[in-house]
Amino acid sequence: QKEVEQNSGPLSVPEGAIASLNCTYSDRGSQSFFWYRQYSGKSPELIMFIYSNGDKEDGRFTAQLNKASQYVSLLIRDSQPSDSATYLCAVYPRGNNNDMRFGAGTRLTVKP
Amino acid sequence: DAGVIQSPRHEVTEMGQEVTLRCKPISGHNSLFWYRQTMMRGLELLIYFNNNVPIDDSGMPEDRFSAKMPNASFSTLKIQPSEPRDSAVYFCASRFLGSSYNEQFFGPGTRLTVL
């Protein structure tokens, strides 16, 4: 089992819809969770982080964390073509705040 | 404030040559990470430094790879000799160890092609 798993996609949504990106992790003791956006040919860009169960909202983005289910998600409301990118889920495992573990990423396409 | 700076942005070299990648972390950050990204393997951590000291280099693929951080504002990743399978995008990232979430910030990357 991979430490951080994401559906590679591609995930395609129409403009204005809600995009839902999902991530599961294997280490139950993981503490901090991150979502990075990576445009083609560019570097990962941090867009959200969360460490408590529940929802965290920032503009059109909402991160959701469920530690009991070892599940973290990212919702993008009112999706725009400019949101088309690969979204990487990242986790610090239990007791280790140095070695950030990344998922393989989900490619999102927002169609006009 | 400038973000993480990497140079060169692109490097094309021939097999057997030495390659040196450079990174300047964000000012004030005290941790630095070197990653490699390929389509097949995704984003892999190669090595990281805390306060200029290498902490874990278990991700370095083999002895051909070495990294140094002589001071808080500069790090290098060297490949000698380079091989075609080293072709990838190499990212440097930095963070302030001790911040609430230890979030990492990435540089623009160096795209390395070994012919």
For B41, nearest residue in chain A (alpha carbons): A104
End-to-end C-alpha distance for chain A, whole angstroms: 36
Q: Tally A–B CB contacts below 8 A.
A: 43
Assess A34–B contact: CB distance below 8 Å, yes or no.
yes
- Whether A98 sits inside 8 A of B42 (CB atoms) is no
Structure confidence at residue A74 (pLDDT): 97
Min distance A96 CA to chain B CA atoms (Å): 11
Q: Which residues of B touch A105 (CB under 8 A)?
A: 42
Where does the pLDDT of residue A8 fall: very low under 50, low under 70, confident under 90, or very high at 90 and above? Answer: confident
Task: Tell me the one-letter amino acid at B50.
Answer: N
List, in order, residues 6 or more apart from B63 with CB less than 8 Å away.
none
Longest dimension (CA), chain B: 43
- Percentage of chain B surpassing pLDDT 70? 99
| Integer Cα distance of A53 and A44 in angstroms | 24
**Which amino acid, B18?**
E
The yes-or-no verdict on residue A97 having pLDDT over 90 is: no
Which of the four pLDDT bands, split at 50, 70 and 90, describes residue B111?
Answer: very high
Read off the tokens for A72. Answer: 């973290």
* CB atoms near residue A41 (< 10 Å): 9
Mutation target vs B (from A2, A7, A43; most B CBs, 10 A cutoff): A43
A111 — pLDDT class (breaks 50, 70, 90): very high
